[in-house]
Structure 1
Amino acid sequence: MSIDLGLVERAPAKPGGFAPVRKTMVRQAVILAGGRGTRLGELTREVPKPVIPVGGVPFLSYLIWNLARHGIREIVLSTGYLHEKLRDALGDGRELGVRLSYVREREPLGTGGGVRNCLGLLDETFLVLNGDSIFDINYLDLAAGAQGNPRIALRRVEDASRFGTVRHRSGRVVQFSEKGAGGPGAINGGIYLLTREVVRELPEGAVSLEQDVFPELAARGRLFCKEYSGFFLDIGVPEDLARAQTDVPAWRRKPALFLDRDVVVEDDSGHGFEDGDFAWRPGVCEAVKAANDAGWLVFAVSARPDMGGRDCPGPDSPHFEGIAASGLADAGAHFDAVYHYPREGRSPAPAMLAAFGRDWNVDMAASAMIGGSSSGVSEARRAGVGRWLLHDREPDDLRRLVLSIL
């Protein structure tokens, strides 16, 4: 089914334009948010399931926050049931740090049809996520090295009876099994890396990715996968929605890894972060990715202006894109933010670190700081950071330190 341009709503541009999305392999996500949520009964009579309040905010706001911190800020919402109320709940995405576009179905099209209905807005490569579940994975890791192949994220659970299992071998999906069989297994986590090529091949009308498309791709050896173990919750049934009221806000409060400027780049590189032309210290990409994979927030912090970050407690640096483009994204890694401290000296003040913690709802006691000087380590301790370590500049030290923390 070709897209009906009359039903496409693009968010207006911010005054002055949006900051450019960093150059990652994937910059866009489609969120499937058109279902009726019949298993939730009266709860979805007047409220679309994806924006039911969880912890006092629309459920989708958590999912959008998680995408935005990975640098995925162009989001297309495939809507249907109670479209206007969903749009009213989320708006154009500015308050969430993203740009939201909406594509509404005239009739239920299934997951595959919903994505195909968005074809006119899609990048060559993009993520697809279910709007009624959170699966905390490193999105950039799913995309890294995919080379244009579709991938799905799998989650291993103790009881797969509600979901059905996915058999895989050497990174390829071999078989999908129906719901009902109990016991542990890998399940479809509801996050997919797709391409426009795959979407163009879909037939018009109602089609299911899970039942029609993926089994066929798997049979042709074209469906790849990665298994993850992060936080997973589906709000599709009343008992899980009730559990989400406490579990999702608890998940949102994450520990953070603070990395001082001097442990990230070489002192004598002679370059700043503004043009992405600088020298990483050994092990930086691997260390940052390890923290990303573990679900931690990762901040680069400095009192030096060449970090390119904004003054605390400002938002992400406009030069954040340059950092990722210089190697992190290719490794499936990212900084959540880069901050510059407006003060003399080279170490962040405790009040500054504490402000970051409040701004990002960080679990400071569970967090860690790796500093390049004893003063930086001392000030992290005074800010309430639970662990503080001094980088000794050995080639593998940063990676080793991070692994000891996680």
Structure 2
Amino acid sequence: MIWTLLLIVPALLLALPGLALLLQVLGARRLARAAAAAPAQPTTWADGPAVDGTVAVLIPAHDEAAGIERTLRQVRAQLRPGDRLLVVADNCSDDTAAIARAAGAEVTERVDRERRGKGWALDHGRNVLRDEARQAPDRAPAWLVILDADCTLQPGCLPRLVRRCAQLGLPVQARYLLHAPDERLKSRVSAFAVRLKNRVRPLGMQALGLPCGLYGSGMALPFALAAQAPLASGHIAEDMQLGLHLAQQGLAPQFCDEAVVDSVLAANAEGAGTQRTRWEHGHLSLLLREGPGMLWRAATAGRWRALGMIADLLIPPLVLTLALQLAGLAALGLLTLAGAPAWIAGLAAVGVAGWVIAVLLARQWFAADLLGWRDLAYAPLYIAGKLPLYLRFLSGRRSGWIRTRRD
């Protein structure tokens, strides 16, 4: 009896991620269908409810001379007169600062070879805006939007994003998608994984009445909140860390599917490897180092919606979750042969089935343009190819920031 009770806990832990993913996919489908049937959201500031106060767009940029002009042109086209566009040229060795100034942006340059990374650049830019606001209150922005230097804004992105932020008075995350740079199967599978993580899952959380995380670009915050937020971080998953911190303060981010920000995955092998390693190792680092404490503090403070969001973000990455589920199922299967109740292994098997069904439904409803059914036959090879990345986390995890090579 005691052994049975002890085995229920790991069986539940193995089952819950797959079932949670399935619930998110079903919820996302419901909201996506409702949105498709509803009238289109306004794409300009004049077509919707007015937003009081100016907007400041903050863009951290490290050696982004090749593409930042296009991004700045798109941002300026969606700003109102009086809104601000600030670029932080962070430890640049190219013409990023000069190009940004020529494109009409305000520019602040930062040089600090020790404290490198996006979090430090955001902190520097936020401090510039905050210090100016203290000296000249009429220049204080009401809303802060954070964008990457290589992103593309879809029509109406900024008005929709800032309106949602103003309506809720909370941080808001846009739909931030990374597209495949080519037609290779590995690229398309990576783009599918990002779509599942950055759109389907947060949309499913919204359907459940729960907040979402922050994904690095397309983030809007009330400036009064941003002025106090802990942005100075060298963590390689600084966006996820910030979202979790805000959730613990009762200010969990909300999702805005109507505001769309796009970018492209790294095309070369080195850049793609750096990108995946940064995301996965950063996620696992937060999960192991800060996850249990965050869950405990949210539970003891009675912040149940934040608790759901923290629990979701602390589920291991998709492929690692499946690998752990399969390993756990195999172990429970062996214990069943040794006399343990078969229903315990069956509980873990339900989690695996939930994961598989959720992925198949997500492909059908949200990614049919990326993957055909025959492509899924190569999924085991993709999964096997990612396992060394997790083994490297155990032997020597990536902790310092390294820019993704995109050329």
Q: TM-score, normalised by structure 1?
A: 0.39
Q: Which has the higher strand share?
A: 1
Q: Which has the higher helix share?
A: 2
Q: Larger RCO: Structure 1 or Structure 2 (Cα < 8 Å, ≥ 6 residues apart)?
A: 2
